[in-house]
Amino acid sequence: MALVETLTSISPLALTVSFGIPSIYPIKLEKHNLTDAATGLSRSLHLLRGPLGQPHRLCLFLDGELYYREMKAVPVLSALLDPRARPHLTFAFLDHGNQKSREQDYTCNENFGRFITEKVIPWLQEEIPDLQPGRHLIGGLSLSGLMSAWLALRYPEHFHYCLSQSGAFWWNDEFFTKTAPQRAPADTRFWLSVGDQETEVDETPPGSPPEVSQIVGVNNACRVLKSLGATVQYHEYQGGHSMPCWRDELKQALTWLLADGNQ
C-alpha cells in the first residue's frame, strides 16, 4: 500500500465560516493557529464550540481540513451541536497542513503525540473551560485513522473514544498491530471501519515483508484491540477508500461511540 495518498487541493479558509444550516444558534467554524516550541510543530485548528456553561466533551478530528472541506462533515455534525442533544460536544478540527507533515505526523509519531497532549489539549481546555477533563474522542481517516487509534491506545487518560475510518493499519508491516500488546489493557471504545472494496495490496521489493490490504489491516487491528479489553465496533461498508462512504457513516459512528451512558 503506497504511503502517498492523493488529496484534493484545499484553498485557504477565512477566519470564520458560517453554514446555512437550520439551528438554534449560528454554526461558525473559528480558525486558530497553535505553535509549540517544545515539539517544533505549528498547526491550524478550526473550532465548533459546544454550549456555553454546560460541561461537555471534546471531539478532536485529525486531518481537519479533509473533514470540514472535503467530507463536508459540519452539516452532518450540526444535530450533535444542538444544545438539547446529549452528550454535549465541542468539535475541533486539526489541520495537517501539507502532505509531508501528514505522512510524518500520522505514522505513530511520538513527537506529534506530545504536541496533541501537551499543547492542543491544554490549549482547548483553557479556551473552553466547560470541557470535561479526559474521556475525549479522537478521530481520523486513513493515515490519521491509524494515528487516532495509536493516540487512543497511547494516551487513555485523554482519549476514551476513537473513530478510525479506513485506518492505514497496513503501515510499516502492521506496526500498530504488532506493538499494541505492549500497552496496558484498554477499556477504550473504538469504531473501526473499512470498505469491502479495499482489498488492494501493493507489490513490495524483494526481501521486504509482504504488505496486507486495508481491509486485512483493519481486521487485524480489531482483533488485537479486543484482546486488550477494548470495546470495538467493526463496520464494513459497501465501497472503497472514499469521502462519501466515510461521511455516510459519521453520525452513526459518533452516536455508537458516545452511547456508553457517560454524559
Q: Domain limits of the chain?
A: 30-257
Find out whether 136 and 57 touch, Cβ atoms under 8 Å. yes
* pLDDT at 24 (0 to 100): 44
Confidence of residue 33 (pLDDT cuts 50, 70, 90): very high
**Residue where the block lists cell 471504545:** 189
**pLDDT for 11 beyond 50:** no
C-alpha cell at 123: 490549549
* pLDDT at 54 (0 to 100): 86
75-128 pLDDT tens trace: 998 877 666 666 789 999 999 999 999 999 999 999 999 999 999 999 999 999
**pLDDT for 23 beyond 70:** no
* pLDDT at 103 (0 to 100): 97
pLDDT (average), residues 210-225: 94
**pLDDT for 237 beyond 80:** yes
**pLDDT for 260 beyond 80:** no
**pLDDT for 8 beyond 70:** no
pLDDT (average), residues 222-247: 97
Residue 175 or residue 12, greater confidence = 175
Distance CA 184, CA 231 (A): 14
C-alpha cell at 219: 481486521
Task: Give the distance from CA 8 to its chain's centroid.
Answer: 19
C-alpha cell at 122: 491544554
* pLDDT at 209 (0 to 100): 58
Confidence of residue 245 (pLDDT cuts 50, 70, 90): very high
Confidence of residue 262 (pLDDT cuts 50, 70, 90): low
State the chain's mean pLDDT as an integer.
87
pTM of the model as a whole: 0.88
**pLDDT for 148 beyond 50:** yes
Question: Most confidently modeled of 21-25, 54-58, 139-143?
Answer: 139-143
| Among 104-118, 146-160, 199-213, the least confident range | 199-213
Residue 263 or residue 221, greater confidence = 221
DSSP summary character for residue 119: I
Residue type, 193: S
What stretches of the chain adopt beta strand conformation (E)?
A: 16-18, 28-36, 41-48, 57-61, 89-94, 136-141, 159-165, 189-195, 231-237
* pLDDT at 86 (0 to 100): 67
- Domain spanning 30-257, CATH class: alpha beta
Confidence of residue 188 (pLDDT cuts 50, 70, 90): very high
